Amino acid sequence: MYAKIVILNFPPEVAQKALVCQLVKKFDLLFNILSAKISNRKEGVMVMEISAASRAGFNKGISFLKKQGVQVSSPEHQIFKDEEICTHCGACTAVCPTQALFIQRPEMRVMFDKEKCSVCELCILTCPTRAMGLFSRAMETMI
């Protein structure tokens, strides 16, 4: 089984289409929606974990989405940790569902494993110093 977390950006002209359902029907892919903000005829974004029997099957589904006008990206560059602001309080580690944020012992430092991040954004809401942020590639700034 091959699985990967992806970020799908839907332009307004395809936001009303049932493209995610087509992943199951046409490509036999499974998906778990981790986060979504999509409205009919408006731009939208969805974070999902997509699973396939093989990497080739996964790639066919992703190619289909791209041909439909959906921008597909990986989440590892979407959430970032500002080391200069972080006080290593550990508040983010308590809410991280994938354990992408964890405390390194014995140093007691908060570490961030981008590969495990599901971009749920709970760390951003929880961080008292705002050391966790969302990175917009299009603007190349912290949101």
- pLDDT tens for each residue of 43-56: 888 888 898 999 89
**Percent over 90 (pLDDT), the chain:** 43
**Structural domains in the chain plus CATH codes:** 2-73 (3.30.70.260), 76-142 (3.30.70.20)
| pTM for this model (two decimals) | 0.56
1-15, 32-46, 71-85, 120-134 — which one is most confidently predicted on average? Answer: 120-134
* Three-state SS at 116: helix
* Three-state SS at 31: strand
The two most distant CA atoms of the chain are separated, in Å, by: 52
- Of residues 80 and 58, more confidently modeled: 58
